[in-house]
Structure 1
Amino acid sequence: MSRRFVLLLLLAAGAAAHEHHGENIPEGAVVSPDPLDSILWWHICTMIVAFGILFPIGMVLGIVRSKWHVPLQVVATVLALMGWFLGHAHKGRQFAPNIHSAFASSLMSMLFTQVGLGIYLKLHIERGVHGRMRPFMVTLHGILGKAMPLVSWVQMLFGGITALGFCHADHLGQCLAHFVMGSSFIAYGIIMTILLLVGQAWLRRTGRSQEFWDSLVIAVWGCVNTFTEHRWGENWNHGDIQHTSMGVVWWCAGLLGLWLSRGKDGEPKRNVVPALVIFLTGWAMSGHAQHLPLSTMVHAVFGYTLMTAGIARIVEICFLLKDKPAQSEPSSFQHLTPFLLFASGFIFMSATEEQLALIASVGIDHVSYILVLYSLAFLLYLFVQILLYLFVSHEKPKSPQDAQLENGRPRGDAAERQVRDADEFELQGLITDEEGSDVEERKP
């Protein structure tokens, strides 16, 4: 098995060394005018299935120690290798040296390391230095597995940017702002969903309310924006002033949110400051002047979506939960804020000047464009819900003492036990019977 793995690595290295010719790329351009051929489309679809769907599912199955973890990871790895070879065998459109191809080496190296660690752990070599190294290898394997969805998301964004030849020269700064902020809104929505469905035990252990952590991130991000949205030494323009002032609002509001997140006796307390920041950000972006009418309308819808998310969060905290933490099965209304954050992220990532100029050139109006972006938000939110469902529902209670569930979700000690189990991320079957018995003895 190890010889086959080495052979695959050598073949992959040979594919990586293949260089695409760029004789059809016009001077001053970064892509040729040729269309994307079928091989490149197969590369795109294969990589999306492997890195965007199968590896995240495999990550969750590994956390809950499912027997399906290893088979699914094997299938995903095979698809990833196929997609990588296809990416170096396509014809049609040619590309200048780009971030997608450069980052691919890091991503695939990370994948090979993950697979190699899995094989090493599966061999159960535990004598001598291997026994001392094994805990470190298990931890590293878990870290790489959990980081894979995030790194894959970045690489998929790089792929879309490269395929269209966007984000070069003067457009680089705007692309960074839109893709980083858009991804941040989606990440915020994912974290909010995790805390809503499975994170209440963790919040109780920290002794902090969710708004404490929200306010901390807002304050730090506001400080970063305050000093990075303007190129110091150059003249100020309208966009610099607006973005910098938004950063100032964030860190000022974040400091207030941190203060209000603690009650007079030190107990965690809910507050609406992060929700107000979301609302104010949406209001500011809804009136952000743009060069194209289509861009103005798309930014307005983005602002309205973000404002609605802020209002929904305020209603949830003040009237639905009445300043109490979420304890039971979330109501349908509580899904509104994280979903709208997903939608806001997709809209903002898709609102760069180059993207909207392309959309306008083919005659697509802002209504159709926004509906497509909302559709993507629905699909991603569904996928996140499926992953969390796999995490929560995998283990069945074996005794009445283990059935400490509240509306299908773990609570109290059962939730804390599930979190501890999740921290022991490892491939199914990688630990020996002796190691497994030691783990069971440590559990309460």
Structure 2
Amino acid sequence: MAQLPQVVLRMLLAVFAALLAVGSAVEAHGDHNMDGSAGVLPDDAGFYHWPEEPMRWALKVHLALCFIAHVLVFPVALIMDIANNRFHPLVQLGGALIAFLGMVFGWVNGHLHNTYARFGWFMLSLLAVQTAANLCIVLSVLKKSPALSLLYRALGVLQLVFTYMGMVLGVVRYLNLCSQGHLGQCISHFVRGSVLIAASVALLLFLRLFGAAMLGVKRPPELYASIVMMTVGLIGTFTEHNFFQSSSDDSWSHKDLQHTLIGVSWFAGGALGVLMTWRSHPRERTPIPSIIFIATGVSMIIHQQDLAMSSRAHFLFGASLVCLGLANICEITLMGSGIVKDTDEAQGIQYLSVFFMCASGMALMGANRDMILFLINAKIDIATYGLILMSFCFVVIFYFYVLIDLYFALAGPPEARYASLEEALEEGPALDGQRDSTSSQASTLNHDSGNKYLSADPLSV
């Protein structure tokens, strides 16, 4: 039985390899040019290329300082604040000085009339408010008001979210993406891909903080996934074909039908998942979200585009979703059967869901039309592009894994939710003098043997 998780991992790898083989076979039957296009490229294809003007020194310094402040210093200050470390105000002030200096070099570089520069003014305003709140707390101006401390911590979290948005806008601005009439399609890809990446980060956080069964979240993780799916599906149902602006002569294309029906399936499946789990114990898992992921992934694998490169990018997205669904089903099966024990530490197989969810988000963001045209002009094939996206995915998971480890180093490991069998028996009531017969008692405890939170109420964890 101990070898079963390895067998499951091999099965997942075999399925992923089979999907890649199928995708290669399908592409082999098409008439594709060496530039990755199927037929004539659109008239605006030449617009998407590497900028002819080299990056100026001021912009390089601006990017380096902003990276140090917003990606390295501010998240560390946030973790130190959550861990109640007394040095976090100094770290935040140091990051604020570096960020302000980076803004100065951004002004020196010029080009202040674009979306990225305007967003920079918003970031500067947010930083000023956060720094002012920090000074008020340090100097005890408001006598350590709980509301002020909550505001300061909330601004730290928002700083992390808006840093990600600023990075995306910087890439969009530098590569001239989301233009030439493709703004809506570009926003759709970036927003939905970002939701999947954020969900992978949240899942990683839950696994590290609440253990294998995630008892601390009070409900099965599929409940929260189903709520997000239901919301995204409802929005997609009424926005993919301009539902509120359609006219009598407005025809439906196959893409409109497919995307709208994906929204309907996500809403219906999400509603079913919510109904099945909204009053369930965290261990009462459901495969409904996994089935939705697999069905959506299959539709994306066979989803045909007018450009072969776009079809291949959607294949990467679909394959990641299929692997995500299969990984979730394997996790539910192994955790529910007791083969994988409930412990304070997440099990290795559970990190598969984190990776494939992040990979699907990266692939969806990278499958927008403007990026596809840029790849064609830059002569970057799909294999290289897939490796780039996978590398970004590993970097994201590594980054947040390190931040969580930093929190554990500063605040200590989370409170243990499980005990060994011997400790559970010692704390439990005497069993008529038969405390030594642990074998018969172990059979009654099953895979919950180490859980000292078992009670009549399944939600009192």
Range into which the TM-score falls when normalised by the shorter chain = 0.7 to 0.9
Which is greater in Rg?
2
Superposed CA RMSD:
2.8
| Distance of 2:56 and 2:307 partners within structure 1 | 31
| Distance of 1:353 and 1:403 partners within structure 2 | 47
| Distance of 1:403 and 1:193 partners within structure 2 | 17
Q: Which residue of 2 aligns with 1:69?
A: 88
Q: Which residue of 2 aligns with 1:121?
A: 137
The verdict on how the C-alpha distance between 1:206 and 1:309 changes in structure 2, with shifts beyond 3 A counting, is closer
Residue 313 of structure 2 aligns to a residue in which SS? Answer: helix
How far apart are 1:70 and its partner, in Å? Answer: 2.6
How far apart are 1:370 and its partner, in Å? Answer: 0.9
Q: Which residue of 2 aligns with 1:373?
A: 389
Whether contact under 8 Å (1:309, 1:336) holds in the other structure is: yes
Taking structure 2 as the reference length, the TM-score comes to 0.73
Moved more, 373-382 or 278-287: 278-287
Alignment of 1:20-99 (within 5 A): 33-90=52-109, 94=111, 97-99=113-115
How far apart are 1:64 and its partner, in Å? Answer: 0.3
Q: Percent of aligned pairs with the same residue?
A: 27
Alignment of 1:76-225 (within 5 A): 76-90=95-109, 94=111, 97-125=113-141, 130-131=142-143, 134-199=145-210, 204=215, 207-225=218-236
Deviations 1:239-261 (A, max 9, x none): 22111100100111111112222
Question: 1:247 aligned to 240, 244, 263, which one?
Answer: 263
| Distance of 1:312 and 1:201 partners within structure 2 | 15
The verdict on how the C-alpha distance between 1:243 and 1:404 changes in structure 2, with shifts beyond 3 A counting, is closer
Q: Letter of the aligned partner of 1:174 in structure 2?
A: Q
How far apart are 1:238 and its partner, in Å? Answer: 2.1
| Distance of 1:155 and 1:327 partners within structure 2 | 38
Q: Which residue of 2 aligns with 1:300?
A: 315
Residue 170 of structure 1 aligns to a residue in which SS? Answer: coil
Q: Letter of the aligned partner of 1:308 in structure 2?
A: C
Moved more, 314-323 or 172-181: 314-323
Q: Which residue of 2 aligns with 1:416?
A: none
Question: 2:302 aligned to 287, 308, 319, which one?
Answer: 287
How far apart are 1:68 and its partner, in Å? Answer: 4.0
How far apart are 1:35 and its partner, in Å? Answer: 2.6
| Distance of 1:135 and 1:73 partners within structure 2 | 19
Q: Letter of the aligned partner of 2:190 in structure 1?
A: F
Whether contact under 8 Å (1:329, 1:406) holds in the other structure is: no
Deviations 1:99-157 (A, max 9, x none): 212221111111110001100111113xxxx44x8222111111111211111111111
Deviations 1:340-385 (A, max 9, x none): 1112212221222221212221221111111111111111101111
Q: Letter of the aligned partner of 1:288 in structure 2?
A: H
Q: Which residue of 1 aligns with 2:15?
A: none
| Distance of 2:251 and 2:357 partners within structure 1 | 33
Give the total of aligned pairs.
Answer: 366
- Structure 2: runs of 5+ lacking an equivalent: 1-46, 420-461
Whether contact under 8 Å (1:270, 1:325) holds in the other structure is: no
How far apart are 1:327 and its partner, in Å? Answer: 4.1
Question: 1:360 aligned to 373, 376, 392, which one?
Answer: 376
Deviations 1:211-252 (A, max 9, x none): 112112211221111111111314322222111100100111
The verdict on how the C-alpha distance between 1:406 and 1:108 changes in structure 2, with shifts beyond 3 A counting, is farther
Whether contact under 8 Å (2:335, 2:342) holds in the other structure is: no
Q: Letter of the aligned partner of 2:82 in structure 1?
A: I
Q: Which residue of 2 aligns with 1:7?
A: none
Moved more, 266-275 or 372-381: 266-275
How far apart are 1:44 and its partner, in Å? Answer: 2.0
Whether contact under 8 Å (1:196, 1:326) holds in the other structure is: no
Q: Letter of the aligned partner of 2:308 in structure 1?
A: P
Whether contact under 8 Å (1:299, 1:348) holds in the other structure is: yes
Q: Letter of the aligned partner of 2:56 in structure 1?
A: D
1:332 aligns with 2:348: yes
The verdict on how the C-alpha distance between 1:171 and 1:403 changes in structure 2, with shifts beyond 3 A counting, is closer
| Distance of 1:81 and 1:388 partners within structure 2 | 27
The verdict on how the C-alpha distance between 1:203 and 1:361 changes in structure 2, with shifts beyond 3 A counting, is same
How far apart are 1:46 and its partner, in Å? Answer: 2.3
How far apart are 1:262 and its partner, in Å? Answer: 5.4
